[in-house]
Chain A
Amino acid sequence: MTVAVDGAAPKSAATARPGPLERLRRSWQKHWYAYAMVAPIVVVLGVLVLYPLAQGIYYTLTDANSLNSARTIGANHIAATYEFVGMHNYADILWGPTAWDRFWSHFIWTVVWTVACVTLHYVIGLGLALLLNQKLRGRTFYRMMLILPWAVPSFVTVFSWRLMLSDSGIVNTVLGTLHLPQPEWLEQPHFQQLAAILVNTWVGVPFMMVSLLGGLQSISADLYEAAEMDGASAWQRFRHVTLPGLRPVSATVVLLGIIWTFNQFVIIFLLFGNGGAPDAQILVTWAYRLGFGQQPRDFAQSATYGVLLLSILIVFTSFYRRWLARNEQV
């Protein structure tokens, strides 16, 4: 509750007219219900997200790693000895001697990965949602089956995919009986990337499908009837009724999809194990590897990657929302 007061203070002081204290008192009286309701999450986010973020940003300006950070070994507490290095980490990552191998190649792959996955999620999800939205016998059954990949925890299904895609797993056995080439999905760089996209698509489609199905059901049937009266073909109805009707849902799920896919950790991490497939690592898994998957753990560089990732997403989201707002007006 004290947090809520703190949160309100600068706001009301900024627009003070009848004296800041009086304003504060009135604002508190009027809004204390709201503050009491949001207080728990504000505290949790403050302690576990905003404070770590601030600390993470501070780490990016130092050379902290697991050898020079404060730590306790047995009864001895060793004080931190890392130093402030300014923007060195950013410079090193973005245009240092190995910038291309470490950052930019992974950056490009991350973008390709995000675009490919979200496109596939959306197109397949929309297709299935359209099919499920028809009056069709057994559509409840189909819906259950199609949502199932979402219900089973992804770490379980990723292991299943790992077995299926292994050298002589079922996928290659089937490809072999059809006399098709049998790539080493989990070993050859390009096929690793293909495998990652494949698995992530399989994991992500149900969410899109359910959301879009919800969106389709909220479009009034009158609109379709009117369009049919006017002699619109199926394609025209899809183009001029369905797609505009889905806009609000699409805008949200595509944004969330992009954010989630960009930061998708589990699938790549588990599909190739910790340390495998350097070419298929996206920036998030790469950053995790720097911070946790190697010795000494490079906290500073890992945090720098994190801050860069966050900045990319924030910039992207701001543009995306502005673009949406502009399209809304037209």
Chain B
Amino acid sequence: MATKVVSRDHGRRRTTVLSHLALSVASLVALFPIVWLVFLSLGPDKDDYLHPDRIWSKMSFSNYAFVTEHTKFFTWLGNTALIAVATCVIGVMFAATTGYAVSRMRFPGYKKLMWVLLVTQMFPIAVLIVPMYQILGDLGLIDTYGGLILVYCSTAVPYCAWMLKGYFDTIPIEIDEAGRIDGLTPFGTFFRLILPLARPGLAVAAFYTCLTAWGEVAFASTFMLDDGKYTLAVGLSSFVSQHDAQWNYMAATAVLIAIPVSAVFYLVQKHLVTGMTAGATKG
């Protein structure tokens, strides 16, 4: 008996060591490309990525200085922040009301709506981008923030609505009933009781929409024509395509772009797992 316990403890310890080993390796793989980019951004010449060993001796922030002083970086940053925040606010609002409606109310056409929301996920941009371009043109929304925000909402909201529906499903319906008995309208119940309870789910939805808007390339590079209206993603690509691939500036810009997202990410990460769970299990 005693020997068995000992061997089992031994086995547990070995499993723990192996787990740490596996997780360390995985973390390293996950982290490396980002760390590498930060390292390369410190090398002042555009070919430094080919011989990184030379960077140690001449490390500097000159790329950062150039990018912030001589390019439209801050304009692009402002554009992206504006678009991301607006998409986030509008998108989460739409997704929350839609998710709540399909979670709680059985209205005619609700099944069809669910199916449409799923199918929207399947739309390849290739089929949408040409007609969208023309509709936005007709509406006078090409090269405007509003146009891009609308486009992002139409791609991010369906997924968020699905996810939030799952989250709302986990909130007991008795809460709604109590609210109704106390004389709240369905809107009142939704805003005063359900939304505060759904905060983790909303955090994930907000994070997802923000990330979608922050990192989207195809629509942004097609619909934004003036370089004063570029988002960071488009601006960054212009370093590579236009002049002769200025990788060093690109690396510095990339690092600057990643910092705010990582900060937001750090703030919501606690909610991330809980929020995702509800959405995924019930979705």
Contacts and interface: CB of A to CB of B under 8 A. Distances in A.
Contacts of A8: 108-109
Contact of B50 (A7, A157, A168, A211): A168
A79 interface: no
Interface of A: 7-8, 11-12, 27, 30-31, 33-35, 37-38, 40-42, 44-45, 47-53, 55-56, 59, 127-128, 131-132, 134, 136, 138-139, 142-149, 151-157, 159-161, 163-164, 166, 168-170, 202, 205-206, 210-211, 213-215, 217-218, 248-249, 252-253, 256, 259-260, 263, 265-266, 269-270, 273-274, 283-284, 287-288, 291-292, 299, 302-303, 305-307, 309-310, 313-314, 317
16 contacts: A8-B109, A34-B110, A41-B97, A41-B98, A41-B161, A44-B94, A48-B135, A56-B128, A153-B261, A160-B36, A214-B276, A265-B217, A284-B124, A303-B130, A305-B127, A310-B124
B52 interface: yes
A8 B27 CA distance: 52
A55 to B, nearest CB: 4
Contact of B101 (A30, A38, A52): A38
Given A33-B187, A38-B101, A56-B131, A306 B107 contact: no
Interface in B100-120: 100-102, 105, 107-110, 113, 116, 118-120
Contacts of A291: 126, 129-130
A242 to B, nearest CB: 14
A313 B122 contact: yes
B43 to A, nearest CB: 11
Contacts of B257: 153, 156
Nearest to B18: A131
A164 B184 CA distance: 58
Given A152-B262, A153-B261, A202-B33, A52 B110 contact: no
A292 B254 contact: no
Given A214-B281, A218-B281, A288 B135 contact: no
Nearest to A141: B27
Interface stretch (B58-66, B71-79, B265-273): B265-273
Given A33-B186, A155-B236, A206-B30, A48 B19 contact: no
Contacts of B218: 265-266, 269, 288
B175 interface: no
Nearest to A157: B33
Nearest to B170: A218
A169 B151 CA distance: 37
A51 B135 contact: yes
Contacts of B161: 41
Contact of B23 (A40, A142, A161): A142
A131 B22 contact: yes
A215 to B, nearest CB: 6
Given A59-B131, A218-B277, A273 B33 contact: no
B21 to A, nearest CB: 10
A166 B51 CA distance: 12
Contacts of B277: 211, 214-215, 217-218, 249
B144 interface: no
Nearest to A206: B30
Interface in B228-283: 233, 236-237, 240-241, 247, 250-251, 254, 257-258, 261-262, 265-266, 269, 272-274, 276-278, 280-283
B211 interface: yes
B203 interface: no
B130 A169 contact: no
A188 B37 CA distance: 24
Contacts of B20: 136, 138
Given A166-B49, A211-B280, A144 B128 contact: no
A57 B30 CA distance: 41
A155 B94 CA distance: 27
Contact of B157 (A41, A168, A270): A41
B49 A169 contact: yes
A35 B98 CA distance: 9
Contact of A53 (B109, B123, B278, B283): B123
B198 interface: no
A42 B113 contact: yes
B132 interface: yes
B145 interface: no
Nearest to A148: B30
Contacts of A310: 122-124, 127
Contacts of B262: 148, 151-152
Contact of B280 (A134, A151, A214, A266): A214
Contact of B98 (A37, A59, A144, A249): A37
A292 B241 contact: no
Contacts of A292: 129, 222
